[in-house]
Amino acid sequence: MREFLVAGNWKMNGSTAANEALISGILAGLPEGSGFRLLVCPPFPYLVSVASQVLGSKLALGAQNVSEHAVGAFTGETAASMLKDIGCEYVIVGHSERRALYDETSDRVAAKFQAAQVAGMTPILCVGETLPEREAGATEKVIDEQLDAVLNTAGAAAFAKAVIAYEPVWAIGTGVTATPEQAQDVHRHIRARLAGQDAEVAEKVQILYGGSMKGENAAGLLSMPDIDGGLIGGASLKASDFLAIAEAATLS
């Protein structure tokens, strides 16, 4: 049985006061039970303060990005070892906003994935197609290219300590959610591609769905056999919205 992971990607939102209120709200309403994990990924300047707030709780900490380099003259970058040092367990790599707005290639994403693992963190590898790509029938081709860049450098065994997030770009921040069937089709494809190289790892890897997931649609998505949680943007910024998705994960 795979655990559910519900991860909040706060993107470039928050302030000291707002974060404290958000984390307090989440901690106050954490669902009972087991079989799920909750994670928050605040912006870099707030990682340390959020780390102290979540310490010892059931809420894990992650970052939204990481350098592919280990150390040195890379102004403005953050090494994986630094993130690990301040308590991050996870780091998002290859989010579509980074691929599209900051020209992150799949090869660079693969290097970040490996840097995270070398430092002892769990990378959350985001993959997903744009609307024109879906309409052109190229969804699987796009996913394969993004996945293979990591498979070819890190190997399938590396996914024993990684998470994959399928995030159709057309669903991110748009209010348009993939149907459970649309998402399941892609999740099944991702797991099968991995199984082609390592069936055991493929069976165990968590594959999250991301793209306008909310309390109202979470249960349907999470009921699908290959959907193991969510990567949540907008709905992770309000405790009650985030907790509604967490609740759905405990019931699925």
Which residues, 6+ apart, have CB-to-CB distance to 109 below 8 Å? 93, 94, 99, 125, 146, 149, 150
Which residues, 6+ apart, have CB-to-CB distance to 57 below 8 Å? 27, 30
* Strand 122-127, strand 229-232: pairing: unpaired
Q: Please state, in angstroms and rounded to a whole number, the distance separating the CA atoms of residues 239 and 250.
A: 16
Q: Binding to ligand PEP by residue 225, rule CB under 6 A? A: no
> Catalytic: 181?
no
Show contacts with ligand PEP in window 5-24 (CB under 6 A).
9
CA 63 to each of CA 28, 44, 154, 163, 230: distance values in angstroms, whole numbers, following the listed order: 23, 7, 21, 14, 16
> Catalytic: 167?
yes
**Would you say 64 or 67 has its CB closer to ligand PEP?**
64
Tokens of 88: 């991050």
Which residues, 6+ apart, have CB-to-CB distance to 33 below 8 Å? 250
Q: Binding to ligand PEP by residue 104, rule CB under 6 A? A: no
Q: What x-and-dash track marks residues 58-87 binding ligand PEP by CB under 6 A?
A: ------------------------------
Q: Binding to ligand PEP by residue 207, rule CB under 6 A? A: no
Q: Please state, in angstroms and rounded to a whole number, the distance separating the CA atoms of residues 171 and 185.
A: 15
Q: Binding to ligand PEP by residue 33, rule CB under 6 A? A: no
Pick one of 122, 210, 243, 245: the residue that binds ligand PEP (CB under 6 A).
210
Which residues, 6+ apart, have CB-to-CB distance to 164 below 8 Å? 124, 125, 127, 147, 190, 205, 206, 207, 208
CB-CB contact of 242 with 42 (8 Å)? no
Size of the site for ligand PEP (CB under 6 A): 13
User: In angstroms, what is the minimal distance from the CB of 239 to ligand PEP?
Assistant: 15
Q: Binding to ligand PEP by residue 233, rule CB under 6 A? A: yes
Q: Which of 95, 129, 187, 247 is catalytic?
A: 95
User: In angstroms, what is the minimal distance from the CB of 105 to ligand PEP?
Assistant: 19
Show contacts with ligand PEP in window 160-199 (CB under 6 A).
167, 172-173
Q: Binding to ligand PEP by residue 42, rule CB under 6 A? A: no
Q: Please state, in angstroms and rounded to a whole number, the distance separating the CA atoms of residues 163 and 113.
A: 10
Rounded to 5°, angle at Cα 208 from 240 and 95: 95
User: In angstroms, what is the minimal distance from the CB of 211 to ligand PEP?
Assistant: 5
Pick one of 212, 222, 228, 247: the residue that binds ligand PEP (CB under 6 A).
212
Q: Which of 68, 104, 129, 167 is catalytic?
A: 167
**Would you say 156 or 171 has its CB closer to ligand PEP?**
171
User: Mind telling me the catalytic residues?
Assistant: 95, 167
Query: Where do contacts with ligand PEP occur on this chain (CB under 6 A)?
Result: 9, 167, 172-173, 210-213, 231-235
